[in-house]
Amino acid sequence: MHILLVEDDPDLAESTGRALRSQGWEVDVTARGEPVPYSLRQDPYDLVILDIGLAGIDGFETLRRIRREGLETPVLMLTARDSIEDRVRGLEGGADDYLVKPFALAELIARVRVLTRRGQARSSNTLVMGALRMDLTARRAYIEETPLELSVREWSVLEFLLERVGRVVSKEQIMQTIAGWDDALTPNAIEVYVSRLRPKIEPAGVRIRAVRGFGYLLEDAGATAAPRSRAEPPVAG
Q: Quick: pLDDT tens for 203-227.
A: 999 999 999 888 999 988 876 443 3
Burial class (CB in 10 A: 0-12, 13-18, 19+), 131: middle
Least Cα distance to 220 among 123, 106, 128 occurs for 128
Per-residue pLDDT at 121 exceeds 60: no
Cβ-based neighbour number of residue 4 at 10 Å: 22
Cα four-point dihedral sign 87, 235, 48, 134: negative
| pTM score, whole prediction | 0.54
Burial class (CB in 10 A: 0-12, 13-18, 19+), 53: middle
Q: What are phi and psi of 105, to 5 degrees?
A: -60, -35
Amino acid at 64: R
What are 124-148's pLDDT values in tens digits?
Answer: 578 888 899 998 888 899 999 999 9
Per-residue pLDDT at 174 exceeds 80: yes
d(CA 66, CA 96): 13
d(CA 14, CA 16): 6
Assess contact for 124 and 133: CB atoms under 8 A. no
Give buried/exposed letters for 224-236 (b at 16+ CB in 10 A, else e): eeeeeeeeeeebe
Per-residue pLDDT at 94 exceeds 90: no
Per-residue pLDDT at 112 exceeds 70: yes
DSSP lists the bridge partners of residue 30 as: 6
- Classify strands 132-135 and 146-148 as parallel, antiparallel or unpaired: unpaired
Q: Which domains, and CATH codes, for the chain?
A: 2-116 (3.40.50.2300), 120-220 (1.10.10.10)
